Amino acid sequence: MANVLDMVTLYGVSLWKYHGSLVFTSFLLLVAGMFMARYRPGRWWLRAHRALGAAGVAFGLLGVTAAAYMVESSTGEHLAVPHAYLGTLVVVLLLVTPSLGLAQFRFRSRAARIRPLHRWSGRTTLALMAANILAGLTLLSQILK
Ligand code: HEM
Ligand code: HEM
């Protein structure tokens, strides 16, 4: 029976490797960004936090696009496993978190209320990404078995 790892390659490299590398890079960039906000190593922390956040979101979205393409060109059954649902929730959070970050500056009078939402949304994004990386690796080991 076809599975997502069979035959789905780009320039001779299996698509799951693009998917895994892109989302893992995204996670590392976002963790680095979180450290900027948490420890504020210089006056430039917010610029670094924003840039790392934007780069992390870009890598994350590209990585999930690679996953959707991989599933589309193999089984065609999207959202077939818990990993895929959690991944979709991560996509939503990857859009909501930076929006809340920007909203602190756009709606200054409500910044104090938005700030904890952004912080918790950011922490939740990172925790769910870590969990889904583990779920992805588990899935991979099951498929490769
Ligand atoms: C934050 C990290 C991750 C996110 C957000 C994510 C997201 C997703 C999403 C949304 C899908 C479903 C695509 C669809 O149904 O069209 C998917 C599928 C998949 N992902 Fe990930 N993923 C992550 C990490 C990983 C890692 C680290 C691996 C392993 C290297 C992995 C392996 C897979 C595999 C094998 C599938 C195909 C599942 C199937 O049988 O349908 N993922 N991922
Ligand atoms: C997906 C991208 C982003 C993630 C994952 C993220 C995550 C976080 C996290 C986890 C914190 C709390 C750090 C801590 O104290 O433990 C934080 C703080 C902060 N973030 Fe973001 N962020 C992102 C994008 C942005 C953007 C685009 C902006 C604004 C332009 C922004 C502005 C801020 C500010 C001002 C704080 C400090 C809030 C405070 O005073 O405690 N963030 N972010």
pLDDT bucket at 1, cuts 50 / 70 / 90: very low
Contact 63, 26 (CB under 8 A): yes
The domain limits of the chain are 9-144
Percentage of residues in the chain with pLDDT exceeding 90? 86
Task: Find residue 119's DSSP bridge partners.
Answer: none
Mean residue pLDDT across the chain: 95
SS3 content of the chain, % helix, strand, coil (to 5): 80, 5, 20
Task: Find residue 14's DSSP bridge partners.
Answer: 9
Is 61 near ligand 1, meaning CB less than 6 Å away? no
The pLDDT value recorded for residue 144 is: 83
DSSP state of 14: E
CA 135 to chain centre: 13
Per DSSP bridges, beta strands 13-14 and 9-10 are antiparallel
Q: Which residues line ligand 2 (CB under 6 A)?
A: 30, 33-34, 37-38, 46, 49-50, 53, 56-57, 94, 97-98, 101-102, 104-105, 115, 118-119, 122-123, 125
Please tell me the pTM assigned to this model.
0.94
Query: In the structure encoding, which two tokens stand for residue 87, read together?
Result: 């991944």
Q: Residue whose CA is closest, atom 6 of ligand 2?
A: 122
Half-sphere exposure of 123 (CA within 13 A, CB side): 7
Could you tell me which CATH number the domain at 9-144 has? 1.20.120.1770
> Average pLDDT, stretch 73-100?
96
